[in-house]
Chain A
């Protein structure tokens, strides 16, 4: 059983819709991450939260809006997306942020398709 749970597993939305991706970690970790995984491209780090504060924003368009209400939950709010935003969105967590010797634990991802 994964310690990082993402919902929904699949999401199809139109370009004008508003939806949210949810991530929950049950590992007692302090850092959480959003990644975008597109076909034949390396994973792209989007956002990092440490102790509920955003510490990294990798030049992500404003149509992606993260929220971290507590250290166990992370959301990615989506609005007015483009077809190129179709991808697998992965959530990850680690015990702390900024310590490279700590592995990241990943969820199963949300497969997002923009019509």
Chain B
């Protein structure tokens, strides 16, 4: 079974600085998707960034980028120029590529990010 591990329950960063959130996963599949979701205090979970395992290029969305290390099964999220609005719980998630009846999003426990002014 696939598992997702976020080893940092909490992180903090100064406004305008850069922070990296860690995520590792375990799978026997060769093709899959990885996601970072953000859940602010208002609780609506939103998708931040998505990576397809067969793509070697790291995904980027504005100030958010990932460092995808397939061999190491590592998928870290880098937030540059941190803003107060980035404060949230961040969840790493995995889904296999094939979809269908086996499709399921597997989440990590989350990392609570605090942004200090």
Contacts and interface: CB of A to CB of B under 8 A. Distances in A.
Interface of A: 2, 40-43, 45, 55-56, 88, 90, 92, 97-101, 103-104, 106-109
A40 B104 contact: no
A88 B41 CA distance: 13
A40 B109 contact: yes
Interface of B: 4, 9, 32-33, 35, 37, 42-47, 50, 52, 91, 95-101, 103-110
Q: Is the interface of A mostly helix, strand, loop or mixed?
A: loop
Given A42-B91, A43-B105, 18 more contacts: A40-B9, A41-B109, A42-B4, A42-B107, A42-B109, A42-B110, A88-B43, A90-B45, A98-B99, A98-B100, A100-B32, A100-B98, A100-B103, A101-B52, A103-B50, A104-B105, A106-B37, A106-B45
Contact of A42 (B43, B45, B101, B108): B108
B101 A55 contact: yes
Nearest to A99: B99
Contacts of B104: 45, 56
